[in-house]
Amino acid sequence: MYFLPVSLYSRLLQFKLQNKELKGASSFVFLRFGCSDYKLICVDGELATSKYLLFLSSPHFRRRFHDEDNQSSECHLEFMCAAVKQILIFVYTEAFTLDTIHINYPYIRQLIAFGKYFHFSYLVDLKKRIEAQLCAHLYNHISEPKIIVDFLLLASNLDFPQLKRHCISGIVSQYYLAFKRKYNFNTENFNDREMFNVLNRGESIFSPSLIQKIDINYKLTKKINIVYNY
């Protein structure tokens, strides 16, 4: 079994307090006190960390390390190294910055899936931070319709309601007619037609599709404008 010494616990708390403003993986050191005794083997690399830090952070690893038959010094993960590193940085230091290189559905899905699988307690806060940074990125790229559509799908798949509202609002206010011309059942472009089919699927049996939500918002906006201009 692994029990956390009081001295190490105190040093870990001090480490977290001193590094709350830490930004980015490049400046992060997983352990400042020489306890790198565990490897996380990812699909594209490996990370050195500590059993004690994992023990503190994850019920999954607490159960794993309490198993006396499991004295392995490594754990194989079906996650990307960059995603695992970013989650550990957040768990240990509370610092989180979403690199624009990684603003895509597979990477963000891995961040959330890794947290769920290992039962990290940060998950709600992490999703809020991811959504806030995606909304900020969307605001800075509102002139790019493809980014809006991509973010709309991401928001729908990963349950980011605020991001979804911003995407629908952006399409309705700026690109509705162009959007309808590009994404429809009769378009000759195969990729655009496939995207239309995806957008036209309801999120559940009883909920309207994203296309229907966009149309509803557009009609409502027109009615409001008519009343306002009357």
| Residue 120 within any structural domain of the chain | no
Q: Are residues 99 and 175 in the same domain?
A: no
Q: Are residues 100 and 155 in the same domain?
A: no
pLDDT-above-70 percentage for the chain: 80
The total number of structural domains in the chain stands at 2
| Residue 124 within any structural domain of the chain | no
Last residue of a domain, one of 79, 106, 133: 106
Last residue of a domain, one of 82, 106, 130: 106
* Per-residue pLDDT band at 229 (split at 50, 70, 90): low
Last residue of a domain, one of 87, 106, 125: 106
Tokens of 132: 């806030």
- Residue 228's pLDDT is 65
Q: Are residues 157 and 87 in the same domain?
A: no
- Among 214, 155, 151, residue whose Cα is nearest residue 183: 214
Average pLDDT score over residue span 161-166: 96
Task: Locate the DSSP E strands across the chain.
Answer: 38-42, 45-49, 74-76
| Residue 205 within any structural domain of the chain | yes
- Residue 131's pLDDT is 94
Q: Are residues 47 and 102 in the same domain?
A: yes
| Residue 125 within any structural domain of the chain | no
Residue 182 has pLDDT above 90, yes or no: yes
Mention every residue, 6+ apart, whose C-beta is less than 8 A from residue 215.
none
Average pLDDT score over residue span 95-102: 81
Average pLDDT score over residue span 25-38: 51
| Residue 112 within any structural domain of the chain | no
Q: Which domain holds residue 28?
A: 1-106
